[in-house]
Amino acid sequence: MEGFRACRYEHWGRDTSMGAYTQLHIFREPRLDAEIRPSRTEWSRSGRHWRDIWLLDEGTYWGVLVDISNSGRHYCDVLLIQLHYDDSRGCCIITKCSLRGGTLERGRIPREVWMVAERFCDCFRELRAVGVTACEDPA
């Protein structure tokens, strides 16, 4: 494909069979109806941990991170991922904003992204309504 310069994006995942589960789902803007599958997945020896590797074109992507600890606490997140190839450096520049990390405001997340996120975990419904504290245990 002419003009395609792949940006490598990686994220780890896990399924410990003791309750912990982490998985990132990526969608390209403006088409949010089809998940982009990783180009490759590298597995640990146990098979319970992995690293997903995507080779993506420049552009804007949304990530839905499902992250549940062994105790059942949710650290789920919505990510805005922007990829730009910098010719002067000869590499891809990745800008990532996170709802849970405080670099992405709830109001900036399109309704369609929330609808996609809610398919993966119920806690996104609470995140959408009241913010990050909804998924955290009461102090």
The per-residue pLDDT string of the chain (139 residues; one tens digit each, 9 = 90 and over) reads 456 678 999 999 999 988 899 999 999 987 777 899 999 999 999 989 999 999 999 999 999 999 999 999 999 999 999 999 888 888 889 999 999 888 888 888 998 999 999 999 998 988 888 765 444 443 3
**Closest CA relative to residue 56, chosen from 88, 82, 79:** 82
Class of domain 7-130: mainly beta
Quick check: helix, strand or coil at residue 73? coil
Alpha-carbon distance of 31 to 105, in angstroms, equals: 21
Question: What Rg, from alpha-carbon coordinates, does the chain have?
Answer: 16
Alpha-carbon distance of 114 to 64, in angstroms, equals: 9
Alpha-carbon distance of 73 to 26, in angstroms, equals: 22
Provide the residue ranges of all domains of the chain, joining segments of one domain with +.
Answer: 7-130
